[in-house]
Chain A
Amino acid sequence: MVDAPAFDWMCTRLEQDTSLDRLAARGTVRLALKGAGLDARTLTPDQLKVVIDKLLVGELTARGIDDAAGLCSSLLAALASAAQGLTTEAAGEAPDAVFSRLARVA
């Protein structure tokens, strides 16, 4: 399975807007996703928004990126306009969608 467009978008933006190279940018985003319990292959724009808002600042600060908070604010603004193009058809149903149904009354 390939990574979700939202993940690729995030990594590309970090490469452009910071001193991080491709490998470091992707690693940083993957660490933030791991902290959120999310997967790069199924990442949605809505999930990415929460990751940028709540976790990415810490990861960028830890890597010595100046004004991480300001960068995250600009990333959130950019994501808002790019989000529509980053949604994809899910390859399959996520396990949490299955488990959310299993206790429903028939």
Chain B
Amino acid sequence: MGNLVWIGFIAFFIVALVVGVRVLLLARRSRELPELLMGVGVLGIGPVGFGLMVVARQFEGSSPEFHTLLLGVSLFAVGCGAFAQFVFNWRVYHPGSGIARALALLAGAGLFGTFVWAGLAHGFIAEDPTAPHSLIRSLLQISCLLWGAGESFAYWTKMRRRVRLGLADPVVSNRFLMWAIGAFAAGWGTAVGLAGQIITGAPTTEANWVLVSSSMHGLVAAIAIALAFIPPGFYLRYIRTRAERSNADATT
């Protein structure tokens, strides 16, 4: 059971690494901003930020300086990833909105500010989740994911109507839903983990129910993000067949 708990974390780590790298390679070829933002967002919040945090724990006793360095890089990666997600939400869903732009820029300033604050306050050593800078950073990280999930879900509701009229590709429509589920699971899982840490006063790894919750949210996020960005052939066939059947039913 102990090892099984880590399945969600491992799945999320692998899927986010594969998707993040693929999307960044795509960005290098296409020279388009959304791909770059999505790649930095997924890699920064997932494998780089989360991964380095886990690696840093291994050096906590043996090499405190290296431990602190890794935690600092990890926090920086999470900040960059969250900021990229904020800018993605603004540029992709509301490019003409002053409010969305202000939100994204304000969040960027907040993330940078909390990074500097954490460095000045205690040099990035393992921090109290209720410390103001830690709390603000966590809330911003949760916000970028839940905002993205909400936007993607709202767009999916439009896309499914377009699919019925033959105006949109069912696979692209499903990608909005899967990203909405993946981003929501990641954001909500982080929120539950944060709440658990605050309630129990213990790190995620030391409170069993928080660990299981975070891992299960990670598993859901991993499956949804994989189906969104690296869907297997059978899943694509299933989505297309279901859409054709649904359109046929609507016309008869």
Contacts and interface: CB of A to CB of B under 8 A. Distances in A.
A23 interface: no
Contacts of B22: 105-106
Contacts of B169: 96, 100
Given A95-B155, A99-B175, A102-B23, A37 B95 contact: no
A100 B175 CA distance: 8
Nearest to B179: A99
Interface residues of B, number: 36
A44 to B, nearest CB: 10
B130 interface: no
B168 interface: yes
Interface SS, B side: helix
Contact of B96 (A55, A91, A100, A104): A91
Given A50-B166, A50-B167, A103-B230, A96 B26 contact: no
A49 to B, nearest CB: 10
Contacts of A36: 161-162, 165, 167
A62 interface: no
A47 B78 CA distance: 40
A38 interface: yes
B172 A96 contact: yes
Contacts of B176: 95-96, 99
B231 A103 contact: yes
B165 A50 contact: yes
B82 interface: no
B229 interface: yes
Contact of A106 (B26, B96, B158, B228): B26
A47 B173 CA distance: 17
A100 B163 CA distance: 14
Interface in B150-207: 155, 157-162, 165-169, 172-173, 175-176, 179
The 4 A-B residue pairs whose C-beta atoms are closest, nearest first, are A37-B161, A106-B25, A37-B158, A92-B95
19 contacts: A35-B161, A36-B162, A36-B167, A37-B158, A37-B168, A39-B158, A54-B165, A92-B95, A96-B168, A96-B169, A99-B172, A99-B179, A101-B26, A101-B35, A102-B34, A102-B229, A103-B175, A104-B26, A106-B26
